[in-house]
Amino acid sequence: MALLDGKTAVVTGAASGFGRSISRTFARNGADVIVADIRTDPREGGRPTHELIREETDQHAYHVDCDVTSADDLAVAVEAADELGGIDIMVNNAGLFRTEEFLEVTEAEYDQMMDVNVKGVFFGAQAAAREMVERGDGTIINMSSAAGYSGASGFPTYCTSKGAVRLLTYALADRFGPEGIRVNSINPGFAETQMMAESGLGNGIRGRIQDQVLRRMTPQRRYAETQEIANVALFLASDLSSFVNGESILVDGGLTNTG
């Protein structure tokens, strides 16, 4: 029996990067998946996630147009799971990253990032929890970051948003633990998804120097593979983590707790 047999997951931002890897990993482990994203084609190229899952596994997979800044869109994505037996696992993964100088951040830039990274997680968790409470079962996984633990001058809005996601996770674990719902976050270090590739980190001459610095800052001297994030999501989604609640798991090669 596979770890997620009979389960249905909704994964936001699942067209690309971590969300794509998490969705494929869940499907390989027996889950049906709703791919909730504003786009269908992966940012890194390749076949849409839901098509790939259907090709690779016997599981059901559907794409739902979902902008996580809209609570209505999130509710529609969660409802889409009803046709597959109802939502068991919610992964609030969609997010934006930007390097910036604090003194120059505009209100519009701040709002845009907080809307996706925080509001999107807040109302994604709310939509999922409303369904899960009725069933008395479920697990919610929020994508925070190592930047939700330690501050960095180069991306203050991002740190603000990811710290909020970590604390929201704890608040929801407290709220829903008695109802049989576990809520945890994943806090990755650097990974080479399109988000990182297009961020200015790791690109160009300045980027190449930063790239060496980032790797040196990480005791394992490399970036994360998306599969390494997906493996932790699989653990948190499954009964292997049945007494893990209100936890934020660093998956950063030792970056945060050393140096």
Q: Is 66 in the site for ligand NAD (CB under 6 A)?
A: yes
Q: How far is the CB of 239 from ligand NAD (least distance, A)?
A: 24
Q: Which among 120, 72, 128 has a CA at the least distance from the CA of 96?
A: 120
Q: Is 158 a catalytic residue?
A: yes
Q: How far is the CB of 53 from ligand NAD (least distance, A)?
A: 15
Q: At what angle do helices 226-237 and 17-28 cross, to 10 degrees?
A: 50
Q: Is 214 in the site for ligand NAD (CB under 6 A)?
A: no
Q: Which of 110, 149, 158, 170 is catalytic?
A: 158
Show the tokens assigned to 40: 């269908």
Q: Return phi, psi of residue 163, to 5°.
A: -65, -40
Q: Which string of b and e fits 224-235 if b means at least 16 CB within 10 Å?
A: bebebbbebbbb
Q: How far is the CB of 154 from ligand NAD (least distance, A)?
A: 13
Amino acid code (one letter) for 71 = A
Judged by CB under 6 A, which stretch of 32-40, 129-137, 168-176, 211-219 contacts ligand NAD?
32-40
Residue identified by tokens 């409470």 is 133
Could you tell me where the DSSP H helices lie in 136-190? 156-176
Q: Is 94 in the site for ligand NAD (CB under 6 A)?
A: yes
Q: Is 122 in the site for ligand NAD (CB under 6 A)?
A: no
Q: How far is the CB of 23 from ligand NAD (least distance, A)?
A: 11
- Judged by the rule CB under 6 A, the positions of this chain that interact with ligand NAD are 12-13, 15-19, 37-39, 43, 66-69, 93-97, 116, 143, 145, 188, 190-191, 193-196
